[in-house]
Amino acid sequence: MKFSLNISDSLNSAAAEAIHRASNALLERQFPEGYWWADLRADTTLESDYILMELWLHPPANGVWNPPNRARIGRAVRAILDRQLEDGGFNVYLGGPSEVSASIKAYFALKVAGIPVSDPRMQRLCERILELGGLEAANSYVRINLSLFGLFPREACPSIPPEIVLLPFNFIYQMSSWTRAIVMALSIVHSANPQRAVPAGLTLEELFLPGAPMHPERDLKTFSWRNGFLLLDRFLKLWEGRGPRFIREYAIKKCAAWMIERFDGSDGLGAIYPSMQYAIMALDVLGYGPDHPLRLEAQSQFDRLMIDDERGFCMQPCFSPVWDTALAAFALAETEYPPIDALRRCADWLLSKEVRRKGDWSVKRPLAEPSGWAFEFNNEFYPDVDDTAMVLLGLEKFRGTDDVKQRACVRRTIDWLLAMQGKDGGWAAFDVDNNWNILSYVPFADHNAMLDPSCPDITGRVLEALVRCGLPENHPAIKRGAAFLLAAQEADGSWYGRWGVNYIYGTFLALRGLRAAGLSENEPSIQRALEFIRAYQNRDGGWGESCASYDENRFIPNPSTPSQTAWGILALLAGGDVRSESLYNGVEYLVRTQRGDGNWDEDYCTGTGFPRVFYLAYTEYRNTFPLLALATYRKATASLREDVSVGAL
């Protein structure tokens, strides 16, 4: 009867060895305090924005730009040029096509840094930008940034008035938390219309496409939210020149107070690159000099995002230590021989990072006791549901040195997660019921992240965390969450992944949530999801999905990656599949592609910042998710291996 269940001894042995190597490699990267922290990479837009920031901070003298960080700017230039595509443009994810706004940002940065327009690389880049629609096709934030230097007409930029802070119905809290932090700082800058200097003779006239419309077009015969907001934008431009000054001054003071309050307990405003950059610029136009403590701290926090060493030069969008730690620790805790001491140090560090103050989330949940975790080292106004659920999953598996403290923390966390459930039954990242869809038509909403609605991937993770921590399957919150997931399933059986690329990620988390909520593996929705996962497995046994899935609103295949292969395996296992050839081929792919040092290679962006706009390469995903998948596989097939062993006797 041996192997009657098609369980391969060699594959199971190889998986066990791979787990051992991956665990040891991961433990070597644990910091003494107990956390993990890996690089977080993105596209060239951040390096381009860094050069823009240097121009802002160190304007030209007598038309000549001679910044103090010239050598570093040179390294930023090399980092940008190293990723130029053959057609001359720049993309927003590996293997993707040239994207106009990323290309324009790169052109501006390279030209400011001294690369002459006669350089063949600049010529190809200019030609590609014109093919993509020219400067007129740039998104709102590129337009606004260039207008601050007199390189794009201000009247063709969307208005971002500081008076937004005065609007009723908690208007600013109807925008996503990241948009809110960006807009509050940028409105201060935009209202000042600073018109900073550029090197003598520098223009971008060659990027304007003759005949292309400078302003967004409005259909005068049709009423729509978009047309309404475009009319409002025209009114706001009149208001800027003719509105009462005392109202604007009062609004600017309110925005400044809001921004400065959120410096406290945070690694910068919102602890993310765009809002941190605009915060420095806002302090500047408000009159805070370079030596002012607030300005010094804001600059220091921004500079910490920089990597400039043997790894090369890049600007990180933010830090991810809590996320990296929770994923690494959970994966290690799922192995057959979890490292108890390392996990104890990890639990102590995570417990020290619990957020215990009310942040922006409390505007809609004023009675909820503060708890939760942020993504970064410090970001007390913005704990997020996804990190909190992931930490909770870990704390259910391992213990710190103070068990009483940990149990109290877990109770608070469960209550906070329950409070953060939306009316639709799902969970979002930072806010509750952040779904005013009309805001998607605001002229500056083209970064595709104006809202933070409930999403399947976070909802699935929260359901799993709550059930693992003791909530019964018939708890009303669990039943509502499961109903949200069932209603959100796509026609092909998949689920949309908001924070990971894309349908593989959403499907694996939705399946784990639904199974935790008590759905049988025989349910049609579960079986349809499994068929979706099996249908898109690559011939090499792995899974890969392109960021283009977001553009096409359907699965777009890509070469296999370790992290997405791990998600495919985890999806199959969550759906109850412990015997299929698809499962074994996926496990074999991970075993085969593991390096001798226990790690895996992965260059592709499998994390999502803003769909269709900004993607993330979590450099530890390639290791933590394969470890979790292999450990889960070993655990799920343990009973089968026992049955086979008994049969052999």
Mapped onto helix, strand or coil, the DSSP state of residue 173 is helix
Contact, 208 vs 135, CB < 8 A?
A: yes
Q: What Å distances lie between residue 126 and 44, 144, 208, 511, CA to CA?
A: 16, 20, 10, 46
> H or E element: which one contains 396?
helix 385-397
Place of tokens 């505007």: 363
Place of tokens 């840094």: 113
Whether 577 sits among the annotated catalytic residues: the reply is no
What lies within 8 Å, CB to CB, of 537 at 6+ separation is 543, 568, 582, 585, 586
Q: What Å distances lie between residue 429 and 178, 182, 211, 464, CA to CA?
A: 11, 17, 42, 16
At 475, phi and psi to the nearest 5? -65, 140
Q: Residue 561's beta-bridge partner residues?
A: 543
- Characterize 21-51 residue by residue with b for buried, 16 or more Cβ atoms within 10 angstroms of its Cβ, and e for exposed: bbbebbeeebeeebbbbbebbbbbbbbbbbb
CA dihedral (519, 521, 526, 529) in degrees, to 10, reads 140
**DSSP conformation class of 366:** T
In angstroms, rounded to a whole number, what is the distance separating the alpha carbons of residues 50 and 47?
Answer: 5
Pairing of strands 614-618, 306-309: unpaired
The one-letter amino acid at 37: W
Burial of 86 (0-12, 13-18, 19+ CB in 10 A): exposed
Pairing of strands 312-315, 614-618: unpaired
Place of tokens 């226990």: 598
Write down the catalytic residue from 43, 384, 386, 431. 386
The one-letter amino acid at 272: I
Q: Residue 64's beta-bridge partner residues?
A: 61
In angstroms, rounded to a whole number, what is the distance separating the alpha carbons of residues 13 and 10?
Answer: 5
Q: 3-state DSSP: the chain helix, strand, coil percent, rounded to 5? A: 55, 5, 40
Q: How many residues does the chain have?
A: 649
Contact, 586 vs 541, CB < 8 A?
A: yes
Catalytic residue numbers?
Answer: 386
